[in-house]
Structure 1
């Protein structure tokens, strides 16, 4: 029968890429960690890690088994939380990944409120615009714009009706004529960000049944969407971003909406996890909480409900 501590050593070693680092993290000696790995490989009768004096990497069998090992430990942790959670409410540790702009400027205060209601819950928040690998990284759930490319992932909608909007700061509009048509964007400095490993410089709009795409350019590009929003607020150009990201700036007057008679492209926000088994009570409660907060922002959106 497989030992839980052996699985922990294997997962920690795979995450850190070092047996000695895993031993330090688990507060055991390298010899004990090495013995755990050998014992696990002996029981499975496969080589999980290819080790040399200078490097350590997962074998093909190790890659395959890693996801199962993670799922097994998660399932046991969820069972432990369920047993002790009854009267005490939602608790445990939840690893959450979110986009940089939405995470910093919208999600953080929401999570503060959520943890006030559930003080036994510990959140570990990972912010960034690169899509987290839910099978390999230590992340339980991810908030991501757009539909997941991997159909095996579980996606729960948070803001299915969200869209991108075109906006600029009053300072920029004081120095430049506001665009009246989509074609006018070619004459403006457009603030760009990397989306899906490429610069998102093709902006799409719809007006009634007519759709239009324009290729834009600008003097600022970032792989962090929060930087693009900050550039826009500072008056450096036009931005084409999720309504959820800029709703607060529009309401406060820091940004003004442009081409209001055109509809921006869809940008649905989803809560994503690798397996339905990960839809634990904390995840389900958090999903309902975030969906309600997103609905409040979407109620203020410039397009018809």
Structure 2
């Protein structure tokens, strides 16, 4: 038995959910995957997987063993990759998924400079505010703004924090009044970003005390740019990342409200699959993101 191959076969079978998926990942046949896992179980003297004709699941022993060997294999792969990456030049097509508004405002103006710096790299940038499964969709790296990363096998590097600001146009405030306390938002047309984890309730803090208020309104959108357009038109009031409306606040097109209250702060991460090698094209793009978006 080639133990390293057997360990990789077991890991991939669990990650992919099938012997066929593991076979595709490792360039082996499903029969070879089955043979390697069988030999590994014989070597250990215990069953790692429960198999039926329709599904596969980890045994209790298999779950514990998977968690341990997964870390070991990752360390081995990282060690091999780190040596190769020192000699290799970034090259190939890099597939990246990123939120549309943040990218258009803070990232895409700098992309030509990145590609000039790395002439052997091509970039396939998908701008989409939805949260994709980067493993299933074959994406090398994703930008993700979230208050809490889901528990997964993804590696995450914190890049920046988006401060939010409550604001509206001067005309809207003149017509509907200016909130003096977060609870006053119950009487306002709140423009809500539907993909946010806090679309229907906004949280504010002051003097160490936190207040969460439910919000409603006639307009919900899956784009922060759409929310910004409605703010500019005087249609309502919204809690929106400051970077998206910084110029509007400076020019007076929009006015900050409840400025003595602190509101949401959303971290932005670069996330990528830990089971894949951190190849030079991914590493250099993560460094570019950290340089462009600034420290957390």
Q: 2:160 — aligned with what?
A: 159
Please name the residue that 2:257 is paired with.
Answer: 259
Partner of 1:294: 293
**Structure 2 counterpart SS, 1:35:** helix
- Per the alignment, residue 233 of structure 1 pairs with 228
Counterpart position of 2:35: 35
User: How has the CA–CA distance of structure 1 residues 213 and 20 changed in structure 2, closer, same or farther, with 3 Å as cutoff?
Assistant: closer
Match of residue 241 from structure 2: 242
- CA 1:62–1:283 in 2, change beyond 3 Å: closer, same or farther? farther
Alpha-carbon distance in structure 2 between the residues aligned to 1:145 and 1:13: 30
CA contact (8 A) 2:6 2:40 kept: yes
Which whole-Å CA distance do the structure 2 matches of 1:189 and 1:99 have between them?
25
Shift of residue 67, structure 1, vs aligned partner: 3.8
For 1:146 and 1:3, how far apart are their aligned partners in 2?
41
Give, in whole Å, the separation in 2 of the partners of 1:279 and 1:27. 20
Matches within 5 A, 1:101-140: 102=102, 106-107=106-107, 113-114=113-114, 116-118=116-118
Distance 1:155 1:66 in 2: 21
The size of the alignment, in residue pairs, is 281
- Long gaps (5+) in structure 1: 299-305
What is residue 63 of structure 1 aligned with on the other side?
Answer: 63
Q: Which residue of 1 aligns with 2:53?
A: 53
Question: Which structure has the greater CA radius of gyration?
Answer: 2
Aligned equivalent of 1:79: 79
Q: CA RMSD in A?
A: 5.1
Tell me what 1:23 maps to.
Answer: 23
TM-score by length of 2: 0.64
**Are the structure 2 counterparts of residues 149 and 14 from structure 1 closer, same or farther at C-alpha, using a change threshold of 3 Å?**
closer
CA distance in 2, matches of 1:93, 1:77: 21
1:148 shift after superposition: 6.2
C-alpha contact (below 8 Å) 2:95/2:141 kept by paired residues: yes
Within 1, Cα distance between the matches of 2:266 and 2:247?
Answer: 20
- Taking a change above 3 Å as real, the CA distance of residues 139 and 279 of structure 1, as seen in their structure-2 partners, is closer
Contact conserved, 2:96 with 2:141, CA < 8 A, in 1?
yes
When residues 230 and 268 of structure 1 are mapped into structure 2, their CA distance, relative to the original with a 3 A threshold, is: closer
The more displaced of 91-100 and 234-243 is 91-100
1:103 deviates by: 5.9
User: CA 1:9/1:89 → structure 2, altered by over 3 Å: closer, same or farther?
Assistant: same
Partner residue in 1 for 2:186: 186
| Cα 1:92–1:40 shift into 2, 3 Å | farther
Going from structure 1 to structure 2, the CA distance change for 1:68 and 1:264 (only over 3 Å counts) comes to: same
TM-score, length of structure 1 as denominator length: 0.63
Alpha carbons of structure 1 residues 19 and 266: separation in structure 2 relative to 1, 3 Å: same
Cα distance in 2 between the residues matched to 1:37 and 1:90: 35
Q: Measure how far apart 1:28 and its partner are.
A: 2.9
How far off its partner does 1:30 sit? 1.9
